[in-house]
Chains A and B, each alone.
Chain A
Amino acid sequence: MLTRIVAWFAAPAQWSSSTGIPARLAEHLGYTALAVLVAAVIAVPIGAWIGHTGRGRLVVVGIANGLRSLPELGVLVLFVLLIGLGLLPVVLALMLLAIPPLLAGTYSGVAGVDPAAVDAARGMGMTERQILLEVELPNALPLIVAGLRTATLQVVATATIAAYVSLGGLGRYIVDGQAQRDFAQMAGGAILVAVLAIVLELALQALGRAVAPGRPGDRAARRVAAFLAARGSDRSSDPDRSSGPDPSSGPDVVPVPAPSGRTAP
């Protein structure tokens, strides 16, 4: 079995023809990028607006929770039947799945910015627009990227299913293999999709770390933090900042002994 899968990967046609692995991979990434991009253009501004104004919170939670129980396969085939075969129904269906995580991530990121930081920004004379762009969105970035990650992985997975409705992408190998009773092809496709998903996950995780607050060069956040420090507040948007001296902290306090017997066998 394994040798057949290896042989499937090794076939020269796999790496050159228009139905070969590079072509299928490009298709798969193309659908994914298109759907996530459209979803982000729609969801990020709406999420930011709701997070900034605090209006419509229940709508976000309702949409996010309602959509997550929709079976993707059903949504996909329904759109294809309603619109007809082609790229449009697939991208629409994928976009629909990408919106909730992006919306929720942006909303909770913006809404979760330390109110003291927003207050300070307002006190320094920033306009609402400046507050959103220079303070709230930069601080919300980690959660927006987390939403982007969830959305991307969901779309990559669902794009696999898109092969079932006659589109390309890596799912082709699974669906065609199934139809031709060619297990090597199915398994090969499955491995490719899994590897793609894992690579994207790791890449987006790295992106998430790169945009974490406290990074150098974030002028607005630094300005607000400096203002807060000057004001003597111990709350700031930066979680790494310690929250002032605590009489109970320091080497005097020993961590809770976990029942592993670390301190008391």
Chain B
Amino acid sequence: MRLFGEDILPLAAEHVVLAVVPVLIGLVISLVLGWWAWRVPAVRRVLVPLTGVLYTIPSLALFVVMPLILGTRILDPLNVAAALVLYAVALLVRTVVDGLDEVPDDVMTAAVAMGYRPGGLLVGVQLPLAVPVLIGGLRVATVSSFSLVAVGAIIGQGALGALFTQGFERFYTAQIVFGLVSIVVLALIFDALWVLVGRLLAPWTRAARGPGRSAAEDDATVGARV
């Protein structure tokens, strides 16, 4: 499908891959780092503020300095992907720690008293109970990732973001609006997918939704980044 002189579908597919894959990689890294930080207070004191600072670095700046860190070429798509992994980690480490904190003390006490070992406790009790918080974090990370990919267009690596730069150069408003709508729609589709995954993995939250949970999720999703 060609629109505005661009082959849209491959561009959209590239946008999705560039936005979603780094979040998934970031999730895996964050689970490890987050669990470590949750277990060792000293690690938490360093890691959580550090990821907070990392998250404040503007994306364009991070895209540009990635070659310095990775040794990649300036126009390598890996720069954008790696920067997005960093953002996902910056957001999700905190989420994992919060999610593990969320497990009530009573439940932890009962589980330990029943004879769970650390591994079984993590897989059988802690992670399942952290799912609602994790999904909240993944939704924010994914939606902002879709928006961040577009910024990459300024350094020539923005997938659908190219619609913005080209539309701007050609003074073509329709192309920009089309780009806005398509990125928002893609982001919302994946946002809805996470909600669905959350419902499948955490059926108990709908059986009895704790008070304040939905408000907390709403608040958590306010802080997007650029």
**Is there direct touching of A and B in the complex, by C-beta distance under 8 Å?**
yes
Chain A residues proximal to chain B, CB less than 8 Å? 1-2, 61, 64-65, 68-75, 77-78, 80-82, 97, 100-101, 104-105, 108, 147, 150, 153-154, 156-158, 160-161, 164-165, 171, 174-175, 177-178, 183, 186-187, 189-191, 193-194, 197-198, 200-201, 255-260
Greatest chain A CB density within 10 A among B61, B121, B171 is at B61
Residues of A within 8 A of B118 (CB): 259-260
A262: min CB distance to chain B, Å: 10
**Interface CB pairs A-B, < 8 A, 15:** A61-B218, A64-B222, A68-B140, A73-B150, A78-B173, A78-B180, A105-B222, A108-B215, A157-B59, A157-B225, A158-B58, A160-B60, A174-B60, A197-B56, A256-B108
User: B179: nearest residue on chain A (CB-CB)?
Assistant: A74
Nearest chain B CB to A69's CB is how many angstroms away? 4
Closest residue on chain B to residue A111 by CB atoms: B215
Most chain A CB inside 10 Å of its own CB: which residue of B65, B143, B177: B65
Q: Give bound CA distance, A189 to B63, whole Å.
A: 12
* Contact partners of B52 in chain A: CB under 8 A: 201
B160 to chain A, nearest CB (A): 8
* Residue among B154, B161, B177 facing the most chain A CB atoms (10 A cut-off): B154
Interface mask (B39-57 → A, CB under 8 Å = 1, otherwise 0): 1100000000000110011
- The answer to whether B222 touches A71, judged by C-beta atoms less than 8 angstroms apart, is no
Bound CA–CA A186/B153 (angstroms): 15
A65/B61 in contact, CB under 8 A: no
Chain A positions within 8 Å of B197 at CB level:
none
Whole-angstrom CA separation of A193 from B65 in the bound complex: 11
> How distant is B70 from chain A, measured CB to nearest CB, in Å?
12
Is there contact, CB below 8 Å, between B176 and A81? yes
Most buried by A among B109, B179, B180, B226: B226
Q: Are A160 and B187 in contact (CB under 8 A)?
A: no
Q: Is the CB of A74 within 8 A of B121?
A: no
- 7 closest pairs, A vs B, by CB? A157-B58, A259-B118, A190-B61, A157-B226, A68-B224, A190-B64, A71-B150
For B64, give the chain A residue with the smallest CB separation: A190
Known: A82-B173, A198-B53, A256-B109. A100 touches B222 (CB 8 A): yes
Given contacts A74-B161, A158-B226, A191-B65, 15 further A-B contacts (CB under 8 A): A1-B68, A69-B188, A72-B151, A73-B154, A77-B165, A101-B222, A160-B60, A164-B168, A165-B168, A171-B60, A190-B60, A193-B57, A193-B58, A197-B57, A201-B53
Nearest opposing residue in chain B for A112, CB measure: B215
Q: Which of A70, A105, A165 contacts B180 (CB 8 A)?
A: A70
Interface residues in B196-226 (C-beta closer than 8 Å to A):
215, 218-219, 221-226
What's the least CB distance linking B134 to chain A, in Å? 18
Partner of B218, one of A64, A74, A259: A64
Inter-chain contacts of B64 with A (CB < 8 A): 174, 177, 186-187, 189-190
**Closest Cβ of chain A: how far from B117's Cβ, in Å?**
7
Q: Is B7 an interface residue (CB 8 A)?
A: no
Q: Is B147 an interface residue (CB 8 A)?
A: yes
Chain B residues with CB below 8 A from A198, complex form: 53, 56-57
Partner of B62, one of A164, A194, A256: A194
User: Which residues of chain B are within 8 angstroms of A260 by Cβ–Cβ distance?
Assistant: 39-40, 118
Residue of A nearest to B176 (CB): A78
How would residues 103 to 119 of chain B score, 1 for a CB under 8 Å from any chain A CB and 0 otherwise?
00100110010001110
